[in-house]
Amino acid sequence: MRKLLHVVGARPNFMKLAPVLRAFEGRAEQVVVHTGQHYDANMSDIFFQQLGIGHPDINLEVGSSSQAQQTAQVMTKIEPVLIEQKPDTVVVYGDVNSTVAAALVATKLGIEVAHVEAGLRSFDRTMPEEINRVVTDRIADLLFTPSEDGDENLRREGVSPEKIQRIGNVMIDTLVRLLPAAEEAIAKSPLATWIGKPYALVTLHRPSNVDDPQALLATCRALASVARDLPVIFPVHPRTRARLAAMAADEPASLHLCEPLGYLEFLGLQKHATVVITDSGGVQEETTFLRVPCLTMRDNTERPVTVTIGTNILIGRTAARIEDEVRRVLRGEAKHGAIPPLWDGRAAERMAEILSGRAQVASNV
């Protein structure tokens, strides 16, 4: 039986891993390695619980550090794991440091690498994630893309067509499966009082938005202005919370700030939001599937399908646009969008069929 070793390290990876694990049940021996890139319980452990993944088989406990240090630590710690486990395929997810680190080590050991969510590009090399995406795609053997633009990017970069397999968005598989549980979870949470009422949901964590004190202060003021017309719920990422504390600024009383939420609770809030304001790639995808207007505080996105087809609007990092675009939504001028092709909850199953088919061909040679 084929042996797969899955490498995950940050919260978005977990939502992608869950459906793939289920799709390969009975088809492959599977080992899950958690690098520990996200180590906070609210950002990691609770996700494993809610997604039904269970505890990872191996935790490298890398923790937080600089880009270079974190990548190097993952590489150093995962090499003996790969040598001992001897997987047929290492499966990496998304675009975090753990992704590129595991891909590099596996490739140098002669182990096949499959990249889930391949081909996405923001074309912004100042983003560490963009470097991780490009490098991983150059060395991976199998590239599972979520949308047509991913295929086009890879072909333009000279990737052999036989390596590219468009399967759809595995994170949407998780959303489809757990949306009923998310509705139940939010109904039981203290945030249940918001369901059925209009509100904006905010999540911001990228350095470009939260590391500059003046920019962060301007954003908070814009959100406070929005809150005069529309309540604002803001689960605060640990990075953002630390920046607010360092500024020694009073948290705007008009904003409903709370701790980071579990996957189910946050999904439930997204489902019922009037508008979502974010800088997260995954949230852009989830709001597109849920048909909820999304305002993304970035100048670019590696998920352009959420803009060309979905509900997403790029508003840049100018806080003033937040107020303008929210007012448009409140006037009934929201972007409704559509759901991209193959975002149907079956992406992981398609991936399993492809890999299983390749294994069968190889065994017959």
Nearest residue to 147 (alpha-carbon basis) of 352, 311, 302 = 302
Range 47-55 contact pairs with CB under 8 angstroms and sequence separation of 24 or more: 47/11, 47/14, 47/15, 47/262, 47/263, 48/14, 50/178, 50/181, 50/185, 50/262, 50/263, 50/264, 51/14, 51/15, 51/17, 51/18, 51/174, 51/178, 51/263, 52/18, 53/14, 53/17, 53/18, 53/21
Query: 268 near 196, Cβ under 8 Å?
Result: no
* Set 34, 115, 205, 272: catalytic member: 205
Query: What single-letter amino acid sits at 47?
Result: F
The question of whether 205 is a catalytic residue gets the answer: yes
User: Can you tell me the distance from the alpha carbon of 236 to that of 260, in angstroms, rounded to the nearest whole number?
Assistant: 6
User: Can you tell me the distance from the alpha carbon of 161 to that of 191, in angstroms, rounded to the nearest whole number?
Assistant: 47
Query: What single-letter amino acid sits at 26?
Result: G
Q: Tell me which residues are annotated as active site.
A: 205
